[in-house]
């Protein structure tokens, strides 16, 4: 009798741990899209893209701001987006949905070049999903433990 209640106590504890892990994972899920919608700034100054290479995550955007006194463009080398034409002081933002390396230049001043690297790490999404899976598996183990003891 004492052995059985101890076994059920252990199963209950494992179940509680599983439930906590599941709750943490579930709570983190809604925040994943917010965390991913970041904007990275690139300044255009002295006929150069100051941050000549930026690394972002899929879903993030890059915002270029022209701090020069003349017009510049942000033109994809492969036509990946509609070119931005930025007069003095203007800003333009482009979202990047897919992973890849995007080289660009200014079509007015071809010596001005830059790169946007979009890396598909997806760490927050992965860890949150992992929490949910581990939580569910732990609870299943606890449930099996209880059923075996009753049989």
Name the site residues for Cu ion (rule: CB under 5 A): 72, 106, 108-109, 112
Task: Give the shortest CB-43-to-Cu ion separation in angstroms.
Answer: 13
Are the C-beta atoms of 112 and 48 separated by less than 8 Å?
yes
Q: Which is nearer to Cu ion, 83 or 129 (CB)?
A: 83
Task: Give the shortest CB-109-to-Cu ion separation in angstroms.
Answer: 4
Q: Which is nearer to Cu ion, 22 or 74 (CB)?
A: 74
Q: Which is nearer to Cu ion, 38 or 108 (CB)?
A: 108
Task: Give the shortest CB-110-to-Cu ion separation in angstroms.
Answer: 9
What per-residue string of b and e applies to 48-66 under the rule 16 or more CB within 10 Å gives b? bbebeebebbbbbbbebbb
Are the C-beta atoms of 138 and 17 separated by less than 8 Å?
yes
Are the C-beta atoms of 65 and 93 separated by less than 8 Å?
no
Q: Which is nearer to Cu ion, 56 or 72 (CB)?
A: 72
Are the C-beta atoms of 14 and 145 separated by less than 8 Å?
yes
Are the C-beta atoms of 112 and 106 separated by less than 8 Å?
yes
Residue 82 structure tokens: 């509609």
Task: Give the shortest CB-65-to-Cu ion separation in angstroms.
Answer: 13
């Amino acid at each position: 009798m004492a052995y059985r209640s101890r076994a059920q106590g252990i199963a209950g504890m494992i179940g509680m741990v599983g439930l906590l892990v599941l709750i943490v994972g579930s709570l983190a899920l809604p925040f994943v899209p917010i965390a991913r919608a970041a904007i990275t700034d690139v300044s255009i100054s002295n006929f150069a893209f100051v941050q000549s290479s930026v690394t972002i995550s899929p879903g993030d955007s890059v915002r270029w701001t022209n701090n020069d006194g003349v017009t510049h463009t942000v033109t994809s080398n492969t036509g990946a987006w509609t070119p931005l034409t930025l007069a003095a002081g203007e800003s333009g933002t482009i979202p990047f949905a897919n992973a890849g390396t995007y080289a660009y230049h200014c079509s007015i001043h071809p010596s001005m070049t830059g790169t946007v690297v979009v890396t598909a790490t997806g760490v927050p999404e992965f860890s949150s999903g992992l929490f949910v899976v581990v939580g569910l598996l732990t609870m299943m183990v606890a449930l099996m433990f209880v059923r075996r003891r009753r049989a």
